[in-house]
């Protein structure tokens, strides 16, 4: 509901404020996911932090 009020306050020329609020929410989520992925790639590149444990031979 807050998103609907925020859009109305911004003065956008919209046909459907609910559609605009949904669009803004999706865009924000996408931006946050992209930022997290880019930061992770910046820090570690293609490296993985997991290590393989040596396989134990059956006894």
Confidence (pTM): 0.47
32, 52, 55 from 59: Cα distances, Å: 49, 21, 12
Residue 20 confidence (pLDDT)? 76
Residue 46 confidence (pLDDT)? 65
Residue 19 pLDDT greater than 70, yes or no: yes
Q: What's the whole-number mean pLDDT along residues 10-30? A: 76
Residue 39 pLDDT greater than 60, yes or no: yes
3, 12, 29, 49, 52 from 15: Cα distances, Å: 15, 9, 23, 48, 55
Residue 38 confidence (pLDDT)? 81
């Amino acid at each position: 509901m807050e998103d609907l009020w925020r859009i109305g306050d911004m003065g956008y020329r919209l046909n459907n404020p609910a559609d605009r609020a949904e669009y803004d929410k999706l865009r924000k989520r996408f931006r946050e996911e992209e930022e997290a992925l880019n930061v992770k790639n910046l820090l570690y590149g293609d490296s993985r932090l997991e290590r393989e444990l040596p396989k134990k031979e059956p006894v």
